[in-house]
Structures are given as structure tokens and as C-alpha cells.
Structure 1
């Protein structure tokens, strides 16, 4: 992996380190929030409900966040988002320490945290092209993917371990990481202000990114597949946590199981150069879906936590490689004045079905048990695999689309946005 861009570009390095810190705390919440809900309610269904509201809050804010990222100074928006997350999570840490962590408070804090997280995500994705030269864009996205993989590896394990020490501790740590990120953002010197703000038609602005994404056959294809993967994998994690908790696994063990997704992502990041040289984008998509289709049903029959973790590793190995290919192309072909809206629209389209997986898991666990739950989740991915095979021909249009503008480009030009 080429890390020259990280060493040579101080402002990119500040953003990279700040996001590493905040994501580390947030990934710990993937374990600590469900465990806190279970400790308060003892209900897998309510745990899934909190996950549902988290996803909804992200989606509601995502498109407006893209508009804000293309209208206002992106650095200031990221700082505001970090401070909002800090206040919300710090409140939950104090409540948990004093024994006042109720379900309504947990729900409110997680919704606020996810909403501000969407604002940060849209602004940071839009800022990347301003901070990094075009020639370094691929390398920058590669080190971002590697960082995310490392965070996904460490964060859940840390969240589970600290929750085992004291339920308030992971939330206090999470709040601290947001403060660190805000301080580093204050030190960025590159201007992230919008040069040419969009016009006053907010509805047109909010949908401009979606028009860009949906106007590209390749991107349409990718977001449908990604939506299925994100939704079902979220349900798999919820089911794995609930099943492990029911089996009296420790919070550290549960954190280790969720961390397995980070292990797979890290292995995929390390193998990324080799995989991208030898396999096409279509093969990587099919490989990701096929691995999940084969491995998810086995999670309903394994008993040892290490076996559950190994299956999650297998499901997540190819995900960072597929993401890097898509993000590099998307960032390169998107005009700067549309970066925030297109990046947010891509995330919105890929995450719009995310609430479905956790809700399937929450309902099915109580009604049918673990095996039927994992089989039900897998059935959705079987449909996505069939769709992926039939739509694979669209992937061949990627480079042609990037080189030759089509009707979608005219639909989201600055003139049209105004």
C-alpha cells in the first residue's frame, strides 16, 4: 500500500487521524449500545428497534447533509458534527455511570449521534478531493479503506472489553474521540469553503446527487447490490450479538465476534492490490455475495464463538476491495460542486434498506430461533446474487461512462442545479 500521500499531506493526515479516532469510538458502540439496551430491557426485539431508528436517522439526514456540504464550509460542518456527537454521547456516558440509562435516552442519543454522523460523512467525503491531488486520489482512498478496516478490527473488541469493565466507559471513550477529531479539524489549513454555492431550489439540490447516481447504469447496479449486502450484514451482526448474549457469552467475547468483521476487512485491504490486478469489479461483487450466501446459514448451527467469528471473517473479506474500486471511480468522475450531494446520495442509496436486516433478525429470533433467522437473512442475499448475475453486463460500461458524459451529466449540471 502506498502511504506517501498520508506522510506528505499534512491536512489529509489530520483528517485521516481525526476520523480514525472518532470511528474507533463509534465502532465500539456497535457492541456497547446493543449490550446496554439488552441490560436495560432484556429484549432482542427492542435492541433491533434501536438499530432501526439509528438507520432511519442516518437516512433522513443523509441527503440534506449532502446539500449542506455543497453549500457551506465543509470543515466547519465537520466540527459542528463532531461537537454534536460529543455532547450526545457524553450525556449517555454520564447517565450510564449514574444508573439512569433508560431506553428512551439511549434511543435519543443514538439517533442524534447517527444524524450528526451523516452530516460529518457527507462533508468529509466531499472534502477529500479538495485535500488530495487527482493523481493521489486512488492512494488516498486506499489508505482510508485500510484505516477503516483497522478500526473495524479494534473498535468492537475495545467496545466490548470496556463495557465489561463499566457500562459507561465505552461511551466516555467515544465522546473523547469526537473531541480529538474536532481539535485536529481546527488545524486544517486548506480551504474547504464552497467556491460556487448552489442555487435556492433545495429540493432540486437535494435530489441532484441521486439523479447523478441513478443516471449511471453501473452506479445503479452497484447501489442495489450494496443495499442488500449492508442490510443483511447488519441483521447478521444483530443476530450474532443476541444469540451470543443468550448463550451467556461475555461482553469481551461478543466484542470479539463483531470484531471478526474488521479482521475480514483488514485481510481484504492487505490483499487489495493482488485482488484488483487479478479480478474484475464484477467478479469482486459476485465473490462477495457468493461468500455471504454460503456462510451465513452456517451461523445458525455453530456453537463456539470462534466459529461464528470465522464465518463473519469470510463474509467480510472482499467488502473493502469492492468499496475502494467504487469510491475511487465515483470521486474521480464527480464535479467538485456536486461532491457532497453525490457522495451522500451514493451512501443513501446503498444504506436505504439497512433497517430491514436488523428488523428481520429481531422478529425472527423471537419467533423462529437462530437457524431460521440466519436462513431468512440469507434468502435476501440469494435474490441479490441472482440479480447480480443477470445485471453483470452493466459493469462493463464503467470506463466508457467515465470517459463520455451522458444524459445524467446534463441533468445534474450546475445550471440544472440552479
Structure 2
């Protein structure tokens, strides 16, 4: 095993002294704060289109608000990676939380005062999306500094469980609060960001390794990351291509990260597209909206259970084997879900496929955190997130076009085929087969 994988970096003595994950105060503070703020964000994500529709009566304007948020997030993703690698990550996260507390408090006050015009809402959405893009990139990059190398995959799996759990709890709570008062979900969201701010402020461990002087960046890279990773990173650190291109060079120069880039995009597009297609197909078949919602909840519960069991699954198989088994199994389960797409039974194989998703994410992104030098974490994470989330965002549009012009089941087969593409890359590409068992 190379040094990059075994954790023999310059910060190894510090990481060896870290406690078990459940006793790791710094990680648990960050995780708990994000549980709260993610729940608040899920509340606001449900309440925002409801608010716009209530104010304007226009579904187009309600949808436009969500599009603006996505566009700002994508535009900020790569600059966020550069900032996360250049500045103190804790301070950046605190600034982001302060900004989100302020804008959502102002929005709630504007609603109470009857001044929540569309321009105000768009400004809040844009500011929040920019802050969230920066915060989430910093959080992903910080995990490597907060846990031991052998805990990274488990830490990523816990973050996956958090995401599924808050996506289940947030929307119902947001709907309840919106029914009680239009401003309440946004006041609540501001409170959750305030609690996140307190949690991040209480973290005493550094969230990144010390940054070496620019003149010595190449040498410092070689001492702070192990052999195989640094051989790719050093030219990026010393070249003249600009900070934003250093992460791209590192990703393209590393076989595993290249494979991850190719695998993550079709997987995310396939899962998002299948869930959207299933919803439309069930409504076409005459299933009531309430039952469609139940089906969606079953799928989400599958993801939550998958995130909880991901560390145990990861320990039982070698990482390359695990990724190949997951990809091929997900492709088969999605194909079965397509065959059952006219009935509520379609939720069962799709939930089983979603159950496997967190394990794949934990293994892939956990390994990414282990093999990427700390001074490039932000840029590498931002590139991978940009590829994955962009593909997922395009999935509903692709599914809509296919369902409108191609017979239902034939249209939906596109998404199992996308997973099969990821499975082929995992099976025959050298990047995934190069993964070691313990990052």
C-alpha cells in the first residue's frame, strides 16, 4: 500500500491520537450542527416555493426561485474550492452561517411586515445558495482533518445518514410551520444556522493542515501527502496555471479520481432520474398523490438505512469489489423497478437500489478524502460535487423529455443503462481496481 492510502502523512501523529468517532468531540459538533441546519434548510426548501406561489399565484415564478438557487450554487462551487484551500476553513464556515442567519431573519421579518416581494426572496435565495456552496465544500474538505484515516469512510457514511434523515424530517416540519405562519419556517431556519454557528465556533481542532509558504508549496506537498498522490499534486502546486486549475490537474492525473468523476455523474443522474420518473409514472397510472408520497418515503427510508449500514458493508468487502457489486446490483434493481413502474411495487427494488447508494458514496468519497492532499481538498471536492450535482439536476429534465416522447418503460430504461455505464467503468477501469481496502 502506498503512503497516501495508509495515512502516513505529516499529520499522522495527530490523527493517531484522535478518539473513536462517537467520542470525537470536534466531528460530533460539526455533525450535530449540520443535522440542525440541514433540517432547517429542508424546511425552507419546502416553504419557499409555497411562499412564492401564495404571493404571486404563478407556478413558473415558484419554479424560477429554485432554478436561481441551483444556478448560484453551481456558479459558486469552483470558486468555493479555491477559497476553502486558501483560507481558514472554520472562519469561512462561521462567515457563511452568520450570512445565512442574517438573510433568513430578514426574510422572515419582511414576510411579517408584508414586504416579501419576489426581488427580496430571490436575493435571499442567491445569498443563501452562495453561502451554502462555500460551507458545504469546507465541511467536506474538513472531514480528513477531524477523524483518523481509518474512520473517514464511516464519517462520510454518517454524513450520508444525516442527509437522508434531515430530508425526511425537514419537509413535514416545514409544511407544519408554514401552515401555522408563513414566516415561521424561515425564522426556524435562521435559528438552525445560529446553532450551527455555535457548534462550529466550539470546535477547537484545526480544520486543515498548516499552509506552507508559496515558494515551498511543492516541497510541503511532498511531505504532507504520500507518494502516489503527491506525484500528481506537486506539478499542480508549482505550475503557473492558476489555483482553480490545480484541482483539475490533480483529478485528471489520478486514475482513481478520474474514475470517480466518470462514475459519480451517471450514478447521481440515474438515481435522481429514476425517482422523478417513478413519480410521474405512478401518477399516470392513477395512483393518488398521497400514495405517491408514501412511495417516495419508502425510497428515502431505503437510503437512510443504507447510510446506517454502509460502514458494516464496507468492512466486509474489498473496496474495488464493493463498488463493482453495488453498481451492477443497482443497475439490475433499477431495471426491475422499471418493469414494475405501473404499480406501487416499483418502490421496493428502487428502495433497495437507493439502499446501496450511501455505501458507494461513503467508499468513493471517503477514499477521495484519504488520497487527496489537504491543500487540494477544497478544489477536488468542488470539482466532484459540481460534476455529480450538475448531472443530478439535469435528470428531471431528461426524464421529462423522454417520458413525453418515448413509451414509459422504454424511457425509464435509460437510467439503469447509465448505472451500467458506471458499473463498466468500475469493472474494467484501472482507477477503481487500484483502491486499497483501508484508506
Same fold (TM over 0.5): yes
Does 2:170 align with 1:155?
Answer: yes
Does 2:380 align with 1:342?
Answer: yes
The CA deviation at 1:284 is: 0.8
Show the counterpart of 1:186.
201
Residue pair 2:145, 2:208 contacting (<8 A) in 1 also: no
Q: Partners of 1:292 and 1:37 in 2: how far apart?
A: 35
Show the counterpart of 1:281.
323
**Alignment CA distance shift 1:215-1:297 (3 Å):** farther
Q: Partners of 1:28 and 1:147 in 2: how far apart?
A: 15
**Alignment CA distance shift 1:166-1:198 (3 Å):** farther
Q: 2:301 aligns with which of 263, 275, 278?
A: 263
The CA deviation at 1:228 is: 3.1
Q: Partners of 1:247 and 1:98 in 2: how far apart?
A: 41
Show the counterpart of 2:425.
391
Show the counterpart of 2:391.
353
Give a deviation string over 1:223-248, Cα, whole Å, max 9, x none: 3342234345556667759x98x999
The CA deviation at 1:311 is: 7.4
**Alignment CA distance shift 1:375-1:22 (3 Å):** farther
Q: Which has the larger radius of gyration?
A: 2
Show the counterpart of 2:159.
144
Show the counterpart of 2:41.
26
Q: 1:70 aligns with which of 79, 85, 98?
A: 85
The CA deviation at 1:379 is: 5.1
The CA deviation at 1:179 is: 0.6
Pairing 1:158-307 to 2, within 5 Å after superposition: 158-192=173-207, 195-196=210-211, 199=214, 204-231=242-269, 233-234=271-272, 240=279, 259-276=297-314, 277=316, 280-295=322-337, 301=342
Q: Secondary structure at the match of 2:100?
A: helix
Q: 2:125 aligns with which of 110, 124, 128?
A: 110
The CA deviation at 1:363 is: 7.3
Does 2:143 align with 1:128?
Answer: yes
Does 2:360 align with 1:316?
Answer: no
The CA deviation at 1:324 is: 0.5
Does 2:89 align with 1:89?
Answer: no
- Unaligned stretches of 5+ residues in structure 1: 404-418
Give a deviation string over 1:243-271, Cα, whole Å, max 9, x none: 98x99958xx9986665453122111233
Q: Partners of 1:312 and 1:37 in 2: how far apart?
A: 32
Deviates more, 1:339-348 or 1:92-101: 92-101
Does 2:35 align with 1:17?
Answer: no
Q: Partners of 1:291 and 1:118 in 2: how far apart?
A: 32
Residue pair 2:81, 2:378 contacting (<8 A) in 1 also: yes
Show the counterpart of 2:368.
330
Residue pair 2:157, 2:311 contacting (<8 A) in 1 also: no
The CA deviation at 1:176 is: 1.0
The CA deviation at 1:125 is: 1.6
Residue pair 1:236, 1:374 contacting (<8 A) in 2 also: no
**Alignment CA distance shift 1:318-1:136 (3 Å):** closer
Show the counterpart of 2:415.
381
The CA deviation at 1:380 is: 4.2
The CA deviation at 1:361 is: 6.2
Deviates more, 1:328-337 or 1:228-237: 228-237
Q: Partners of 1:202 and 1:84 in 2: how far apart?
A: 34
The CA deviation at 1:111 is: 2.5
**Alignment CA distance shift 1:315-1:155 (3 Å):** farther
- Unaligned stretches of 5+ residues in structure 2: 1-18, 215-236
The CA deviation at 1:315 is: 5.0
Q: Partners of 1:46 and 1:291 in 2: how far apart?
A: 37
Show the counterpart of 1:406.
none
Q: Partners of 1:104 and 1:235 in 2: how far apart?
A: 31
Q: Partners of 1:231 and 1:202 in 2: how far apart?
A: 34
Query: How many residues end up aligned between the 2 structures?
Result: 389
